[in-house]
Each structure stands twice: as C-alpha cells, then as structure tokens.
Amino acid sequence: MEDNRIIKTEYSEEMQKAFIDYAMSVIIARALPDVRDGLKPVQRRVLYDMYELGIRWDRPYRKSARIVGDTMGKYHPHGDSSIYDSLVVMSQDFKKGLPLIDGHGNFGNIEGDGAAAMRYTEARLQKVTQEAFLGDLDKDVVDFAPNFDETEKEPVVLPVRIPNFLVNGSEGIAVGMATNTPPHNLGEVIDAMKAFMLNESITTRELMRYLKGPDFPTGGIVINKDELPEIYETGVGKIKIRGKVEFEHVKGGKTNVVITEIPYTMIGSGISKFLSDVAALVETKKTQDVVDISNQSSKEGIRIVIELKKDADAENFVNLLYKKTRLEDTFGVNMLAICDGRPETMGLKQILKANVDFQYEIATRKYTNLLAKEMERKEIQEGLIKACNVIDLIIEILRGSKDRNMAKACLVEGKVDGIKFKTKESKIMATQLMFSEKQANAILEMRLYKLIGLEIEALINEHEETMANIYRYEDILERRDSMAQVIINELDEYKKEYGRKRRTAIENAEEAVYREKEIEETDVCILVDRFGYIKTIDTATYERNKEAADAENRFVFYCKNTGRVCVFTDTGQLHTIKVMDIPFGKFRDKGTPLDNISNYNSEKEQIVYITSQTELNLRQVVFVTAQSMMKLVDGGEFDVSKRTVAATKLADGDSVVSVVTLLEQRNIVLQTKDGFFLKFSLEEIPEKKKGAIGVRGMKLGTKDAVENVYYTMVLDNSEIEYKGKIIVLNDLKSGRRDSKGTKIRV
C-alpha cells in the first residue's frame, strides 16, 4: 500500500516558493532574451526547427503552419499563436534591423494590419541567419539540452556570430521586470565589438565613436544625443525620437507638411492614432491651419501629407505636432537580458563583453573539434602513406591471412601466426609492422585504385594540407591574438555582406516651442435656444436680426471672442466654456448642443441661466432655490479656471430655480406652485459666499415650492399671466422676506 503522508507547511511560505518558481520560469524560459544570441526561447526554437527541417535560404519556402506545428510538437508546447507571432515579427523589416526569416505572403505592415493566418503564409531562413546564427551547430560549439518530454535535443543557445541583442533589440514583459532594447546598425555594432576586442579597457564614450546610438528600421531622428552616453553606460534611460518631416511648396503659395519617417514607437496603430490626433487638434481649435490630411503611405514607404492654409507657419505647425502628438515620442530603454543564467540590466560594455566572451567560447570549441578531426585524418593519412611504401608486403599478408581479424592483428601487433608468407624475409618484416587501430582499418578498406601514382601523390598533398590545418588550428587555440583575428575577419565579412547605411539620424535638438497665434479681440453675440443649442454670430448679424433672435432664443448676450461663457444649472453646478470652442456660424445655423462642448449633461440637469464671465465679474448674482433659499454672491467668485465647479450649496432634495445678475432690479417676486406671491426688496437678501446655502426667502406650505422668480424695477409696469389672470408685478403688495406672501385666487 502506498504511503500517503500529509506534509504540514505554512501557507505563505508555500505561496512564496510557488510564485518565485513561476516568476523565474517566465523570466528565464519565456520573456527575456539571452544576451549571447539575443533570442528568447520561442525565437531560438523556431529558428532551430527551421534549420532541422532544412528550410534554408536557398531552398523553397515552406508553409508557416508546418513550421509552427513542428516547433510546438518538438520544442515549444505553449500554443501556436505565440510561435507564429514570433515567426512573423522575425520577418518584419520595419520591426527588426536585421530580419532573420524570409516571409512569403502577407506578414502584416507598419500600420498595424496583422499577418494572414499561418495556413496561407510561407517562410524560410534568411541567408544571414543560416550563416551567422546556425552555421556551426554541427561542430559541437554549444550545449544541447533535452526538450520538454526528453524525446529531442535542442540548443541551449544558438552560436550567433554577431551581437544580435544589440542589432535587433528586444522587448518583453516578465514578472516584476521588462526588457526594452532598441535596434542598432549592424556595421556600427561590429565596429564597436572589434574596438572592444582590441582594447577591453575602452570607455563607453570611446565605444560610441563607433556605435553612434540606436538605428531604428523606421528611421526618424534621435534628438537627445548628449544623453546617450549615460543611457549606454547604465543600460537604462529615455531616448527621444521624432518623425522626419519635409515641406512641399504647392500651387497658390500653400505648403504641405509631409511626414516621410515615423518614430519607432508609432509602429502599429500609432499611425491611425496620429491621424485622429491631428483631426482632434483641428476640432478643438488648437490649430486652424489644416486644410486636409491624407495617408499616402505604400510599400515604397511612409508618406503622410497635411495640407496647410496659404499663410500658415509650417514650422510652427510642426512644433505643435511634436508637442501634441506622437510625432515626437519617448523610447524607454532598459537593456535587460539573461546573463550567466540570471536577469541583468547591462550597459554597452557589459553586453559587448558577454558577446566577445561567447565568441571566444564558440571559436575554442569549434577549432578544438576541427583539430581533433584533422588529427584523426593525419593519423589515417600517415598510415596509408606508410602502407604504400610496403604495399607488396601488405598484399602478401592479406593473401596469406584466413580472415580480416588475422590480417588486422598482423598490421597492428605484428602477429604472423597462421599467415602464409612467400619468404622468411617477408615474415620477419611483417612482425615489425606497428600500425594503429584506425590506420589498420583504413588500410583494410583501401581500394586498389589508390595505388595509382597520381592517387598516391594526391594523398601526400592532402597530408600536407592536413598538417597545415593542424598547425593553423593549434595556433588559433594557443594564441588569443590569432583567435581574435579569426573572429574579427568573420565579423568583417558579415559587415561587408549584410551591413547597410544608418537610417536614424542622431542630433541634439531644442525642445519644440509652439507659438499660438494672437487672436484679435472682438465682440460677438452668443445665442442659446430653448433646446440647449449654442452658437456664436457676429454683432452686426445680430443687430440686423435682433427681433427674431430675441424671440427664438432663450439667452442672448454679448461677449468677447477671447472670453468664457458660464452655464448655471438646477443642480447647483457651474460649467464654463471658452467662446473659441463655440462654433461660429450664420444666424440660421442650428448651433451645437451644450453637451458636446462642456461637461453639461442634459439628461441629468437643466439650464437655469447663461451669461458671460465678464458680465459676472462686474455684478452680484442672485440665487433662489425651490425650497426658497436665497443669497447674493459676488460674481468674481465664479471666475475659475476649472470647466465645472459647484456654484452654490444645496440642501437635500433642493434645486436651483433662478440665477440672475443684478443690474437695475429693485424688487424680487417669488411665486409658488400653490399660488402664493411674495414681493420684497432685494436689499433684504444678504451677500454670502458661493459655498453657503443662504437664507430663507419665503415661508412655504407643506409640499409647496418656489416655481417662478420675477424681478421688477422702479416705474416698471411689466405684467405676467397666471392661470388666465393678468398680474402687474409692481401692483402686488410689498412684504418682508421670510413671510408667507399673498395667495392669488383665480
């Protein structure tokens, strides 16, 4: 019977251990690249699987689904999407400075469109991947480890001959840490690596004479050149990048702003986001210079065209784009990778040192392996040459032997028992033969045509070549300078064949400064209808249509075009709107709902009063609520920068009924739902702060509430209609604040 034991342990300790195990698994075996080959495990497995399947750069493409399925079944049992996504990214020349896979079909584009399904696309290795990443796998240059089910072997690291971690960069999110390394120019990285090999005490600043900075596949401009040495010293920092902008002068004196290169961070949906951001700048009136914007990008490259008005300042507009859109963006650098089995943030020197050490390790294992093979070849060649010199004796031994073992024993140990010789001299000579085991096997397997004179001469030449190789390999292994030269020569070949010109410019640029156009201050007229639609018209248009405007609109007032409009609501809120944000239109235009240009919500609150900020600053404001609370407030208290503030304090269940700025009004008339009217002097209302509830204006009956508020002036004969009865307001009997008032009977 199986012994089932219950182990008691602290829950927190078990959770801690489990989480650490999980975190390390993600860090080491999934999310972070190895500094030696610059590859994450999934990338390494895809490339190795393609190598195993024989999908070389000079052979036909194979279906991506075949590659993904084989990789998943043999090496990476974590789902096909992660494998295919990795394959796709390694083929995209706009993401990788040096694409490792040659994709055939739709592998996505720079604007964020995804690749076609893996059953439709095909792929094969790039030539550089075949040569510089997988070239020496057959020479025992790296260790192999069992796969997940121990049915296959996979390389722990690929024998990459270039610093791929720098060339292609890397991004990945692990547990508690992330890596974000920019791509670099292959030629510059190789030059920096050579400089480090020749002088390991070289400083980071000296290395940056060779490696200028990041080289993004999308081009662009790095604008903080002076900050780069610190970033490459520590491996952490922020690189500021801008898109490349050109100006095209077109007919009519207009200028087109053409974006030909985008920041690396805009790859994907960033371009469509940029277009919408420019449109938003126009809609919010941050700029009025744009006539049209179009994305004319194609497979030839990026081309985003922004048409400007005739007299627009193009350079000032570009500065606006730098400040308000992702045309200028930040790339956060964190050069984190797996080094010696643990995650480490490394500077440029540390990365180059890790790669140089790896190159020496690869070269040592490679040439040790080659030397062993040449030594074995040398032994066999020397045996064959020696055999050719005594070929008659060897033939006599072979003819006189009963079997292979007897002949081999004679060749190796000089045993002649059982072998028939023609002469005693031959038997004596046979006892003196001392071939090695390998030499004897080679002699026994040698074909007769090898005895032809030319073949013997070729064997001697081959032996001389083998001896030269042995001398060369021993020199490489014994002298570090010789090995360094071999590595440098290989790097030079890769640079010559695969190097390209730098795409990203590196400079120091001043911070973009956008100068807003000074707006000429003028008077305008604000119209708000009973449906909450607002518009701005010029004063001359209002004067011509004054009677119709006053009749059709609930609020009509003058305002400066640089000023603000204040909207008071029944919930006690004050919403402010810049006049510049209100559409300027014709008299018969419908206008724009207040909801669209402010925080006002027509579904939750009702407009009580609208006026200009300037008018408020000069006056006192009267507040009256449904529960008959009232107060005077200095209008200057509402001169606030926030879009929404509380204009007054309300008791539970109360709401604002009336807000009015005081001009020449002398009396106030409160009318309740139950028909009570109370008229009294405005002087009875005390001035309070906007945060106060106020004082009671009228004693209300149960469930009664103030419904309407009217104001009168001296010698004012204004009248209202109440339930069919005409009431002259100034004829009402005057009372005192906080009294019941008079009920009007109809």
Place of tokens 């995804």: 114
What sign does the CA torsion over 85, 91, 95, 98 have? positive
Which of the following is catalytic: 22, 48, 61, 120?
120
Query: Which uninterrupted H or E stretch holds 645?
Result: strand 644-646
**By the 8 A CB rule, do 263 and 218 touch?**
yes
Active site residue 120: yes
- How far apart CA 647 and CA 616 sit, in angstroms, is 12
Q: Please list, residue by residue across 259-278, b when 16 or more beta carbons sit within 10 angstroms of its beta carbon and e when fewer do.
A: bebbbbbbbbebbeebbeeb
- How far apart CA 535 and CA 519 sit, in angstroms, is 19
- How far apart CA 451 and CA 512 sit, in angstroms, is 83
Tokens of 610: 């609208």
**By the 8 A CB rule, do 391 and 164 touch?**
no
Per DSSP, the residues of 547-605 read HHHHHH-SEEEEEETTSEEEEEETTSEEEEEEGGGSPB--TT---EEHHHHSS--TTT-
- 340: how many CB neighbours lie within 10 A of its CB? 8
**By the 8 A CB rule, do 278 and 290 touch?**
yes
How does strand 505-506 pair with strand 221-222?
Answer: parallel
Cβ neighbours for 367, distance < 8 A, ≥ 6 positions apart: 473, 476, 477, 483
Per DSSP, the residues of 107-169 read ---TTSPPPPPTTT-EEEE-HHHHHHTSTTGGGT-S-EEE-TTSSSEEESS---SS-HHHHT-
Tokens of 34: 């190895």
Question: E-strand spans in 253-380?
Answer: 255-261, 290-295, 304-308, 328-334, 336-339, 342-345
Cβ neighbours for 36, distance < 8 A, ≥ 6 positions apart: 157, 160, 165, 354, 355, 358
Sequence length of the chain is 746
User: How far is residue 732 from each of residues 40, 662, 718, measured CA to CA in Å?
Assistant: 88, 21, 12
**By the 8 A CB rule, do 302 and 110 touch?**
yes
Query: Which uninterrupted H or E stretch holds 523?
Result: strand 523-528
- How far apart CA 64 and CA 705 sit, in angstroms, is 76
- How far apart CA 274 and CA 327 sit, in angstroms, is 8
- 93: how many CB neighbours lie within 10 A of its CB? 12
Q: Catalytic positions, please?
A: 120
